[in-house]
Amino acid sequence: MEQSRPAAPLTALILGAGFAAEGHTIALKAAGVDVVAIASRTESSLAAAAEKLEIPRWDTDWRSLLADVQPDIVAVGTPGGVHFETIEASLQAGCHVLCDKPLTTAAADSRTLFELARDRGLKTAYAASYRYQPQTLYARELVASGRLGEIYEAEFVSHYHWPARMPFGWPHRLEDGGGRLNNNFTHKLAIAQNILGGRGPGGAEVLAVTGECRNDLKRVPIAGKVHDFREYFTRALSVEEAAECEWAEVTSDWAYTVLARLGDREAPDEAVSATFRHSGLRFGRHADHVAIYGEEGTLHIEEAYTQGPMFLATAPDCWEELTIPEHIFSGLPDEDDPTQRNWTQLACDLVDDIRGVETRDYLTFRDGWIYQEVIDVVRAAAGWTRIVGE
């Protein structure tokens, strides 16, 4: 009897040569994908990334690579302002796409990409990937088990003390995908939905939203091009150095307050009230945290993206520190760095879905579109707005 041959490895093209592109490359390789090419606009950083990541082919012309390589998957790790063009071309070429947040810089464009992928039967993944944090997954189990009773409220509070004199770049430009709503709120919303039962029918869909955002930064020094996101923190200028530079106007948001109702569209009266509060420049006295308030108890998780200790109280001032069960960790990639672990889990889920293997729910371009709808409402200070999501 002739034995069936194993499926040929899927192939991938990476767009970008910075932090996210590196993470996507490592994630896809861990998922069994053959990363065959990488493209970026800056030749020197591109060559260095290709060598470091052992990617055999690289070019500054991403369209030529896309046509020549004909990959199964395109991973987009560039700033959000250039996402639409590259993703649209990739989908038109019949590629599945993994994209970091934001999907695009406007809800209408994000919806166009979601519908194009849907109509062509292509798989997509949206990397608001801190929803895979072990603390998030355990919190979801606790909520589902009824340990907290009926859930009424959720809050997500953080204050990051980013350097005000880091060099001017895409984080400072709304048109390039910068801003804290695009790059912080997206993770928090993904965490909230997962804890409250996942998004989709019967889960924690965004039903309505209101909010506001602020630009507290105004201007920053121009001090050379920064290619890798991680370098923005290490290359912050002193007061004296900044005084010698030209300065550029900042267009992105650095603080936000978002109120949302999350729940089942078929039972809107049972929705959870969620508060998301963040500043990218102001430090606070109390630790960043996530809290879930239920009829029978309160769950408190330290750090903005549920990375710290977990505490449960079922009576006033009686806090019990929780231990995350081993099965949570065993169900995730064996990776110490949380950002990389979460990217890798998303890549594994996408690849399994492409291959027709049953997988857990993961974020797709539909989520990227809906998240941008929410962000657009908040930026416009439009008041309470219903999010239709269809």
| pLDDT tens by residue, 130-186 | 999 999 999 999 999 999 999 999 999 999 988 999 999 999 999 999 999 999 999
Query: Does 200 score more than 80 pLDDT?
Result: no
117 by Cβ neighbours in 10 Å (0-12 / 13-18 / 19+) ranks as buried
* 291-307: average pLDDT: 97
pLDDT reported for residue 40: 94
% pLDDT > 70, the chain: 97
Contact, 100 vs 229, CB < 8 A?
A: no
In the chain, where the domains are located: 11-129, 132-337+365-386
Task: Quick: pLDDT tens for 269-295.
Answer: 899 999 999 999 988 888 999 999 999
Query: Does 242 score more than 80 pLDDT?
Result: yes
Question: Who's near 335: CB < 8 A, 6+ residues apart?
Answer: 30, 341, 344
- pTM for this prediction: 0.95
pLDDT reported for residue 204: 92
CATH number of 132-337+365-386: 3.30.360.10
Superfamily of domain 11-129: NAD(P)-binding Rossmann-like Domain (3.40.50.720)
Task: Quick: pLDDT tens for 138-153.
Answer: 999 999 999 999 999 9
Based on its alpha-carbon atoms, the radius of gyration of the chain, rounded to whole angstroms, reads 21
